[in-house]
Amino acid sequence: MSRWAYVNGRFVRHGDAAVHIEDRGYQLADGVYEVWAVFGGRLADAEGHFERLERSLGELKIAMPMSRRALQLVLGEAVRRNRLKDGLLYLQVTRGVARRDHAFPDPAPHPAMVVTAKPMDWAAAGVRAARGVSVITTPENRWGRCDIKTIGLLPNAMAKTAARDQGAAEAWFVDADGLVTEGASSNAWIVDAEGVLRTRDTSANILRGVTRKTVMGLLGETNIRLDERAFTPEEARNAREAFITGAGALILPVVAIDGAPIGTGKPGPVAQRLRALYIENAQALNIS
Ligand code: PLP
């Protein structure tokens, strides 16, 4: 079945999709993106990702390429054309096409927008989650505005590559204070030695993860205690369990850090419970 991509007002075959070479996203990484998990054809955490998209664009003074309602229609059409049941939807908005110059062009060009869809087998992802994954740590070397979901991802790509080269699935950045900020494409969590769920607070230089926020909302259905407080790699090594969250990972147990096992070296009960709750809630969207 052919894949369809949305590019600046049209759906085109994925293989034929192209943007202008003077697009500022291509030239200067001048753009932002969002990713939605799709369950049964419905977008998980739809509103949270729209809100963050609007915020990222606002911080960079890029206009929304269309109204939120129109955007929802385009994403729905991308799901329909690709017959996407389970998978990921990717949306990218860049400042648009302009003669190359660092300063934002004035007048502003019309923002460019691309949407692609990718099928995912959530059951197969579940098998991986049941095994758990490893992470490595790496010095934080990103810019100071990681709250903006920009397409400038070179440090993240380098960190992910280092992780892959060491047989790990994710890299956790560690800042100058020796504290974990977040993963290269996920937020980082532990259940510490006292049994308290910990993750970095959003006043730090991290992305305000939409899955992170949803997971916090799910805690009301449990008796898990949360403290939004930074942790060190050593605290992670001595933790009862660890996991990462993100639209692609959902809630993914972490069983080793820098080669050392965490807890029992197997996925922990908190991560497993939260993953099950998250998926249950996302699937319930399809019945409501
Ligand atoms: N942190 C970073 C650096 C990310 O790239 C991502 C997702 O891509 C996340 C955290 C998790 O965010 P979300 O749960 O909104 O997908």
pLDDT tens-digit map of 115-143: 999 999 999 999 999 999 999 999 999 99
Pocket of ligand 1 contains residue 96 by CB under 6 Å: no
Taking 50 as the pLDDT cut, the residues of the chain under it are 288
Q: Is 87 exposed, middle or buried (0-12, 13-18, 19+ CB in 10 A)?
A: buried
What is residue 19's predicted lDDT score, i.e. its pLDDT?
97
Q: Is the pTM of this model over 0.85?
A: yes
> From the alpha carbon of 206, which atom of ligand 1 is closest?
1
What is residue 288's predicted lDDT score, i.e. its pLDDT?
44
Taking 3-state DSSP, the helix, strand and coil percentages for the chain, each rounded to the nearest 5, stand at 30, 30, 40
> From the alpha carbon of 248, which atom of ligand 1 is closest?
16
In sequence order, the 6+-apart residues with CB closer than 8 A to the CB of 31 are 24, 25, 62, 92, 93, 94, 95, 112, 150, 151
Q: How far is the CA of 152 from the centre of ligand 1 (A)?
A: 14
Give bridge partners of residue 239 from the DSSP assignment.
none
pLDDT per position as a tens digit, 209-237: 999 999 999 999 899 999 999 999 999 99
Pocket of ligand 1 contains residue 159 by CB under 6 Å: no
What is residue 287's predicted lDDT score, i.e. its pLDDT?
56
Is residue 241 a contact partner of residue 120, using CB atoms and an 8 Å limit?
A: no
What is residue 221's predicted lDDT score, i.e. its pLDDT?
87
Look up residue 105 and give its DSSP letter. P
Catalytic center residues:
149
Q: Could you tell me the domains of the chain?
A: 4-120 (3.30.470.10), 125-284 (3.20.10.10)
Pairing of the two strands 87-94 and 31-39: antiparallel
| CA-nearest residue, atom 10 of ligand 1 | 186
Q: What span, in angstroms and rounded, lies between the C-alpha atoms of 134 and 243? A: 10
